[in-house]
Amino acid sequence: MFDFCTDPDLLEGSRWLACYLTTPKHMMFYQSFGVVIALLLVTAPIALFVGFLGALATRSHVAPLRWLGLGYSSIVRGVPDIAFFLFVPLALDQLLEWLRHEVKCPDWDEPIRQGNDFVVCAAAKLPLGSAPQIWHELYGITLAIVAFAFVFGAFASHVLSGAMNAVPRAQLETAEAYGMTRGQVTRRILVPQMWAYALPGLSNLWMILIKATPLLFLLGVEDIVYWARELGGSKTSAYSYPHPDWRLWYFTALLVFYLLMTKLSELAFARLERRFARGQATASGMRQARGGKGGPGAGGSKGATA
């Protein structure tokens, strides 16, 4: 990085540290923070969408669809989610390979499960054995995203269906009285109104999602936990920058990173909550309408809860 870093053995003090913290491996470590944030930004909308579908399903008039929605959100919430993070990628991988196997190799006559092995023909492997490394990594990350979306979709579904039930019944009835169909009531009245009620739950969920990202490590993604272990482990003098076991410092850095992330999100959500409360028939919405600036937590006039 710096031009004085050519011979690490001659460096001392802060220069040594500056060079140490800018080695190519450390650069990959810093990049992996970006991977975590990117994963959050990709997963959150997908999970929200899945949760939205789940919440709509639990309100459906078609019984099997309703059971599916209810079953999905209660089973996922009853089981440790880490079990799903281990289960979903493996199960999905086998499902996809099995489907491809059925399509691509119809004349294969051996069974798929032979004893303790799962065998499909070479053409059905995902990604193909000959594919470059980058595809293997992308495939792994995609499976991880699906696993996250699956678990957090169930939680989002629970939050959103609660929010949908919280929208005042009278509003929906008024819309029906105006002659709107069920779909129109959902699109024009229910969905725009539910966000104010859903936001506290969703902000909680976002925090949980942030705190779930280190589990990527378990899925074999080279994330911040992987690099913290890799770089922090003690390095003998065979390395250019020998040092004792520094994992404690690396994990402290990760801890600070997560504390910052959650704190910033908390502040952002407080603002958003004030924004969404505007014009709502809730205590803080009424307070804003009355000209007080306050939303939740911002004080405001006392006794304005009527």
Partner 1 sequence: MMSCIDTIQAYGLRSIGLGERLLPRSDFTLCDQFVLIGSGMIWNLYFGLGALLLGFWASIGVALMRHSEAWWIRKPADWFVFVFRGSPLFIQFFLFYALFTQLPREGVPINLGFVEFTADTSWLTRAWGGALITLFLNTTAYTGEIFLGALRSVPKGDLEAADAYGFSGWQKFRRITFPTMLRLGWPAYTNEAIFLFHATTLVYFSSFPARQQKGDALYYADYFASKTFNPFIPYPILAMYFIALTLTVVLVYGVAYRRLTRHLPSNRKPRLKIRPQVVR
Binding site for partner 1 (CB under 8 A): 75, 77-83, 86-87, 90-91, 94, 113, 115-118, 151, 155, 158-159, 201, 204-205, 208, 210-215, 217-218, 225, 228-229, 232, 245, 247-248, 251-252, 254-255, 258-259, 262-263
CB of 50 to partner 1, least distance (A): 15
Nearest-angstrom CA–CA distance, 56 and 171: 18
CB of 138 to partner 1, least distance (A): 22
Which residues fall within 8 angstroms of residue 129, CB to CB, at 6 or more apart?
122
Handedness of CA 8, 10, 12, 14 (dihedral sign): negative
Residue number, 11 or 150, with CB nearest to partner 1: 150
Question: Where does residue 41 rank: exposed (0-12), middle (13-18), buried (19+ CB within 10 A)?
Answer: exposed
Residue number, 108 or 171, with CB nearest to partner 1: 108
Residue number, 135 or 249, with CB nearest to partner 1: 249
CB of 92 to partner 1, least distance (A): 10
Residue number, 31 or 204, with CB nearest to partner 1: 204
CB of 217 to partner 1, least distance (A): 8
For residue 30, the number of C-alpha atoms closer than 13 Å in the C-beta half-sphere is 7
CB of 152 to partner 1, least distance (A): 9
